[in-house]
Structure 1
Amino acid sequence: MDVTRLAAQDARRTARALGEARGAVLAGGQPKVAPRPVIRESWDRALRGGVDPDHDFRADLLSREEVEQRRQTSRLRHVLPVLHEGLLQFADSAQHIVVVTDAEARVLWREGSATGLRRADGQGLGIGGDFSEEVVGTNGIGTPLVARRPVQVVSAEHLVRTLDGWVCTGAPITDPRDGQVIGAVDVSGPLEAHHPATLALVGSVAKLAEARLRDLHLTSLERLRAIAAPVLARIGGRAVAVDADGWTAAVTGMPYTNRLALPRSLSPGRNRLPHLGPCQVEPLPGGWLIRPSAEPGAADDSTRVVLDLAHARRSTVTASGGASSWTQELSPRHAELLYLLALHPAGRTAAALADDMFGDPARTVTVRAEMSRLRRYMGAFLEHRPYRFTEGTEVEVLLPVDPLDLLPHSTAPAVVRARSGPGSSPRG
Structure 2
Amino acid sequence: MFESWRRSLAAQIVPDFGEPPVSFDHGELDDVRQEHPLARWVPMLRQTLLDGAEGAGQVMIITDADGTILWREGHPAVRRDADRVHLAEGTRWAETAIGTNAMGTTLATGAPVQIHSAEHLVRTYHSWTCAACPIRDPETGALLGAIDLSGPLHTMHPALLALVVAAARIIENELRWRLLASDALFTQRNEHHLAEAGQGAALLSHTGRVVASAPAARLVPGQRVGLDDGGTCLGEAGLEPLDGGYLLRVGQRRSRRKPRLSLELLGSGTPAATVDGVRHELSLRHAEMLALLVMHPRGLTAERLALLLHGEQGNPTTVRVEIHRLRNVLGRHVVETKPYRITADVDADLLVLREALRRGDVEAAVERAGLLLPDSESAAVRAERDELLASMRGWVLGTENADLLWRFANTEAGRDDPEVLERARDLSAPDAPHRDVLETRLRLLLEDEA
Q: Which of these residues, 73, 82, 85, is aligned with residue 123 of structure 1?
A: 85
Query: Which amino acid in the other structure matches residue 291 of structure 1?
Result: R
Cα offset for 1:266?
Answer: 3.6
| CA apart distance, 1:81 | 4.1
Indicate the residue corresponding to 1:181 in structure 2.
143
Q: Secondary structure at the match of 2:202?
A: strand
Q: CA 1:294 to 1:207, structure 2 compared with 1: closer, same or farther past 3 Å?
A: same
5 Å-filtered alignment, 1:330-369, equals none
* SS at 2:111 equivalent: coil
Shift of residue 52, structure 1, vs aligned partner: 1.0
Aligned AA (1:146): A
Match of residue 304 from structure 2: none
What's the CA shift for 1:220?
1.0
Q: Residue 290 of structure 1 is aligned with which of 222, 226, 248?
A: 248
| Cα distance in structure 2, aligned partners of 1:266 and 1:241 | 18
Q: Any conservation in 2 of the 1:100–1:183 contact (CA below 8 Å)?
A: yes
CA deviation string 1:346-367 (max 9, x = no partner): xxxxxxxxxxxxxxxxxxxxxx
**Is 1:90–1:112's contact at 8 Å kept on the other side of the alignment?**
no
Match of 2:224 among 245, 257, 260: 260
Q: Which has the higher strand share?
A: 1
Superposition TM-score, scaled by structure 1 size: 0.55
Is the contact between residue 90 and residue 96 of structure 1 (CA under 8 Å) also seen in structure 2? no
Identical residues among aligned pairs (%): 35
- 1:79 maps to amino acid: W
List per-residue Cα deviations over 1:135-171 (Å, max 9, x = no partner): 2111110011112111111111111111111101111
Q: Which has the larger radius of gyration?
A: 2
In the alignment, which of 98, 103, 109 is matched to residue 147 of structure 1? 109
Distance in 2 (CA, whole Å) between partners of 1:147 and 1:244 is: 27
- Taking the aligned partners of 1:232 and 1:58, their CA distance within structure 2 comes to 51
Cα distance in 2 for residues equivalent to 1:45 and 1:173: 22
Residue in structure 1 matching 2:153, options 191, 208, 212 = 191
User: Which residue is 2:35 aligned to?
Assistant: 73
Flag the 1:264–1:94 CA change in 2: closer, same or farther, 3 A: farther
Q: Give the number of the structure with larger relative contact order, counting CA–CA contacts within 8 Å between residues 6 or more apart.
A: 1
Change (3 A) 1:93 1:232: same
Structure 1 residues 102-126: Cα deviation after superposition (integer angstroms, max 9, x where no partner):
1110001121132222221111121
SS in 1 for 2:6: helix
SS at match of 1:130: coil
The one-letter amino acid of 1:199's match is L
Contact 2:207–2:227 (Cα < 8 Å) also in 1: no
Secondary structure (helix, strand or coil) at the match of 1:100 reads: strand
Of 273, 284, 296, the residue aligned with 2:234 is 273
The residue aligned with 1:242 is 204
Whether the 8 Å contact between 1:94 and 1:116 is mirrored in structure 2 is: no
Q: Deviations over 1:48-96 (max 9, x none)?
A: 2211111132312413354334323332224334423321335533621
Counterpart AA for 2:234: L
- Superposition RMSD on alpha carbons, in Å? 2.4
Structure 2 spans left out of the alignment, 5+ residues? 254-336, 339-450
- Give the partner amino acid of 1:108: L
Q: 1:256 to 1:58 in 2, by over 3 A?
A: closer
Cα 1:91–1:265 shift into 2, 3 Å: farther
The 1:59/1:98 distance shift into structure 2, 3 A limit, reads same
Name the SS for the 1:171 alignment partner: strand
- CA distances 1:262-297 after superposition (whole Å, capped 9, x unpaired): 324244xxx4434xx131x222221112223349xx
Letter in 2 for 1:221: D
Within a 5 Å distance, the mapping from 1:12-411 to structure 2 comes to: 39-90=1-52, 92-93=54-55, 95-234=57-196, 236=198, 238-252=200-214, 254-258=217-221, 259-267=223-231, 271-274=232-235, 277-279=236-238, 281-294=239-252
Tell me the number of residue pairs that the alignment of Structure 1 and Structure 2 aligns: 253
Query: 1: CA distance between counterparts of 2:141 and 2:174?
Result: 14
* Cα separation, 2, equivalents of 1:197 and 1:54: 30
CA drift at 1:235:
5.0
| CA 1:245–1:65: 2 relative to 1, 3 Å | farther
CA distance in 2, matches of 1:173, 1:86: 15
Q: Distance in 2 between matches of 1:58 and 1:100?
A: 16
Q: How far did residue 101 of structure 1 move?
A: 0.2
* Residue aligning to 1:353: none
Do the aligned residues in 2 keep the contact of 1:242 with 1:287 (CA within 8 Å)?
Answer: yes
- 5+ residue gaps, structure 1, are 1-38, 296-325, 328-428
The 1:291/1:161 distance shift into structure 2, 3 A limit, reads same
Question: TM-score, normalised on structure 2?
Answer: 0.52
Alpha-carbon separation, structure 2, partners of 1:44 and 1:90: 35
* Separation in 2, partners of 1:186, 1:100: 6
Q: 1:264 to 1:256 in 2, by over 3 A?
A: closer
